[in-house]
Structure 1
Amino acid sequence: MSTALQPSSQPKLASHVRLGFDRARKQYMLQVPEAATVLNLTGATTLHLCDGRRTVAEIVEKLRDRYDHVADDDVANFLARLVAKRWVELDGD
């Protein structure tokens, strides 16, 4: 597993992390042991695409198919923050 985020990196949620939807609050949640983080729709969509097979570059392209303004740096920074927290792992560099 690599620690540097590259366009060829293949991100996936760490085994101890769950992405879910809280029906009562109508919000996506990233759940880790003893904590939960509320996600906006773009963040949740990004993490749904992090399956360990798609590259960061492919994820950006998929997001561009869905949203008007997607910056490579915004996606990379979001994922890098989650890698730093060890909530996302990288394969394929």
Structure 2
Amino acid sequence: MSARPRLAPADRVTLARHARLRFDSVRGRWVLLVPERVMVPDETCTEILQLCDGDRSIEAIAATLSEKYTADEGVIRRDVIDLLQGLADKGFLRPMAGPPA
């Protein structure tokens, strides 16, 4: 498996084509469907993934969460990048090229 590029605050990401975030009514929670497995993200991860629409930058996602939770934006940004980098390294997220739509 080739190494994925490091994500930066200005990057915009979205779920990879083979990954889907869906609400599972049987489990009563959100799940991330990826090839041959179902991941059950926690509430924070789900909220972040819902903001990964390909238009918002990681920095904008962190700002939204920082404002919502009145938390330090730098700390939130680092946590968001760490989470998204892990998912990108597994191939579940993809960076968007070019300017936002």
TM above 0.5: yes
Q: Give TM-score scaled by structure 1 length.
A: 0.88
Q: Which amino acid aligns with 2:35?
A: P
What is the CA–CA distance in structure 1 between the aligned matches of 2:32 and 2:70, rounded to whole Å? 24
Q: Structure 1: which 5+ runs fail to align?
A: none
Selected match of 2:44 from 42, 45, 49: 42
Selected match of 2:94 from 72, 82, 89: 89
- Choose between structure 1 and 2 for higher RCO, CA contacts under 8 A separated by at least 6 residues: 1
Q: Which amino acid aligns with 2:92?
A: W
Q: Give TM-score scaled by structure 2 length.
A: 0.82
What is the CA–CA distance in structure 1 between the aligned matches of 2:97 and 2:9, rounded to whole Å? 10
What is the CA–CA distance in structure 1 between the aligned matches of 2:31 and 2:88, rounded to whole Å? 17
Q: Structure 2: which 5+ runs fail to align?
A: none
Q: Taking every aligned residue pair, what percent have the same amino acid on both sides?
A: 34
What is the CA–CA distance in structure 1 between the aligned matches of 2:68 and 2:23, rounded to whole Å? 20
Q: Which amino acid aligns with 2:85?
A: A
Q: How many pairs were matched up?
A: 92
The answer on whether the counterparts of 1:14 and 1:88 sit within 8 Å (CA) in structure 2 is yes
What is the CA–CA distance in structure 2 between the aligned matches of 1:28 and 1:67, rounded to whole Å? 21
Displacement of 1:67: 2.6
Which 4+ stretches in 1 moved above 6 angstroms? none
